[in-house]
Amino acid sequence: MAHQPDSWTLVVPIDHTPEELKWFDSLKEKYDLECPIYWLGKDWLNKQMAEHPAIIRYFIDGANDEVVRLLRELNQEQATFENLSSGLERLRNLANRLNEIDPYYKINISIIDGEVSLTHVPRWNGADQERPITFSMNFNFPDSEIGKLEAKNFRDRIDRGEAVTVDGAYAKIISASGAAGISDLTGKSVNVRIGSTRAPIAERIDGRIVISDPHGLRKATLPIQFRERQIGRRVATIYGHDRTDSVHVAAEVEPETAAVTVKARIKVEFQPKSDLYPHELLTVLKFGYHLRAPNRIDLELGNARPVGYSVQLECPSPVPSVLIELVERLARIQSTSNTPFPSPVAFSDDQRREIDIATRLLDGERIPVSGPARFTSTLEFSKDDGDGVNISQRMTEKPMRITLSEYRPVPVCGEQVYLGFGVYECRKTKIENIEEAIDFMNGRSLADAIQIALVPIDDDPIYFRLLQDDDPEELRTNGQMILDV
């Protein structure tokens, strides 16, 4: 069989004869069926009827009068019950009695915002297709100012497929069919709530929003994926967004004339997400920067020409250029350090300062270090290094220039970012524990090495920079110090 069923069942209101059963069983071999096949006859149907009396009552005995009576009781209960729990229990009992009658639909009861809601739910897949619930309505709006406004609102929303609510003063049921007893609503005035036709598109539509200047030169293009549609009586609307979900687009399309041309209304909402990486955010920000007067926008779908007419922009740019510059710097910092993290959409003063410092370091600048400073290092000396007495004398007579390597992070927007080996530099320092250092250099200490501490002289500035290619090789080890005496 083409559909490859799990089983194949024949249901007929007669029991088979031995010859009929033999013929039926031969079908499996004849058609090379791998699934089991069953003949269900009159005995099986009688058993099902006994187990489901609602079928007999609905189709044979005729249960419409009973259904109408129960529905009226249900309406009366809604209007009169005072205690919520006991009243709800009575409603459920009535609903259960109704559910014993209708083989197509069951009734669910719920309370939303203090209002009792009865919902007809198909009992099985396809029940709503075999026995659909249908209404024929009459909408009559009075020839008054309020009536005209209500009528216009109703027409506009139906034209666009939008949700709309109509007061019972303007709506009456002409006929109703489907679920058991629902025809009793015929002739009644009712509040009508029509839902939106907005629904997912089976296969997404790829398009793009194009921003051009008054001369037709393209300034920015952003791909848009349309995944939802809303179809009204006159207007069809497609809804989409970019990959970051920061730019939302709604395009209303309607026939303009009897020709092929269409008129499109394009609405763009720009709201950058706060969890994007800088390179993702840059795409959105650069698009938003050009989303300003006197530019215009066009919608293109697939490889087709623009849909409808261009939309003239009249608003200022939602994105200042300084924001783009900050995110570009942050993208460079993350790319150089291989340290990705989401970018802020709005930057604090501290974050701006951190980005500025990190950028200047990448540019090879020296950054002044504020606050008190004290450097420590291990001092090793052997006679092969020279005259210890002479060196120790120069250490006491002249300021010393130090260069100290350190592998440490710099703070950037709440993250610790490693840009590479750094170097501290100070032109004028002195050894804080000079006496201990002199004894060591003059051979009066038995130690192989000592710790020395150096501090700036006369508040001489200290700078920090990143290690350069032409720096001495020994600085490429963390904590190494070059002392120029």
Residues 221 and 184 in one domain: no
What integer is the mean pLDDT of 227-236?
92
Is 337 domain-assigned?
Answer: no
Residues 28 and 90 in one domain: no
**170 lies in some domain:** yes
Please, which pLDDT band fits residue 312 given cuts at 50, 70 and 90?
A: very high
**Residue range 90-95: mean pLDDT, rounded:** 64
- Indicate if 98 and 189 belong to the same structural domain: no
**Residue 389 forms part of a structural domain:** yes
8 Å CB contact between 462 and 407? no
Residues 35 and 69 in one domain: no
Average pLDDT estimate for 202-215: 93
Q: Return the C-alpha torsion angle 347, 350, 356, 360, nearest 10.
A: -150
Quick one: pLDDT at residue 338?
96
Q: For residue 260, what pLDDT is reported?
A: 47
**pLDDT at residue number 291:** 95
Higher pLDDT among residues 376 and 428, named by residue: 428
Is the pTM of the predicted complex or chain greater than 0.85? no
| Long-range contacts of 196-204, Cβ-Cβ distance < 8 Å, separation of 24 or more | 196/161, 196/162, 196/163, 196/230, 197/161, 197/230, 197/231, 197/232, 198/161, 198/228, 198/229, 198/230, 198/237, 198/239, 199/228, 199/229, 199/230, 200/227, 200/228, 201/226, 201/227, 201/228, 201/229, 201/238
Q: What is the mean pLDDT of residues 367-375?
A: 79
How many other C-beta atoms are found inside a 10 Å radius of the C-beta of residue 256?
A: 13
The helix (run of H) or strand (run of E) holding residue 177 is strand 171-177
* Total domains present in the chain: 5
- pLDDT band per the 50, 70, 90 thresholds, residue 392: low
Residues 88 and 100 in one domain: yes
Residue 58 lies in a domain: no
Question: Same domain for 16 and 72?
Answer: no
Q: In this predicted structure, which of 6-20, 224-238, 394-408 has the lowest mean pLDDT?
A: 394-408
Asked whether residue 353 is assigned to any structural domain, the reply reads no
Kind of pairing between the strands at 400-406 and 481-484 = antiparallel
Can you give the pLDDT at residue 258? 47
Domain of residue 388, residue span: 366-484
**Average predicted confidence (pLDDT) for the chain:** 83
What's the rounded mean pLDDT across residues 29-36? 82
The answer on 480 and 370 residing in a single domain is yes
How much is the average pLDDT of 383-403? 65
Instruction: Determine the average pLDDT of the residues in 43-66.
Output: 65
Q: How many CB atoms within 10 Å of residue 307?
A: 17
Q: What is the mean pLDDT of residues 250-269?
A: 72
Rounded to an integer, the average pLDDT of 443-454 is: 76
Task: Report yes or no on 199 lying in a domain.
Answer: no
pLDDT above 70 coverage of the chain, percent? 81
Based on the domain organization, do 305 and 214 belong to the same domain?
A: yes
Say if residue 190 is in the same domain as residue 224: no
Q: Are residues 37 and 138 in the same domain?
A: no
Confidence of residue 394 (pLDDT cuts 50, 70, 90): low
Residues 322-347 have pLDDT tens digits of 999 999 999 999 999 999 999 999 99
Among 321, 356, 383, which residue terminates a domain?
A: 321
Q: Which helix (H) or strand (E) holds 282?
A: helix 278-289
Query: What pLDDT does residue 367 have?
Result: 92
Residues 225 and 250 in one domain: yes
Most confident of 61-70, 305-314, 366-375: 305-314
Whether residues 284 and 381 share a domain: the answer is no
Domain boundary among 98, 130, 162: 130
In a domain, 338, yes or no: no
Tell whether the model's pLDDT for residue 184 goes beyond 60: yes
pLDDT at 386 over 60: no
The answer to whether position 149 is within a domain reads: yes
Greater confidence (290 vs 449) lies with 290
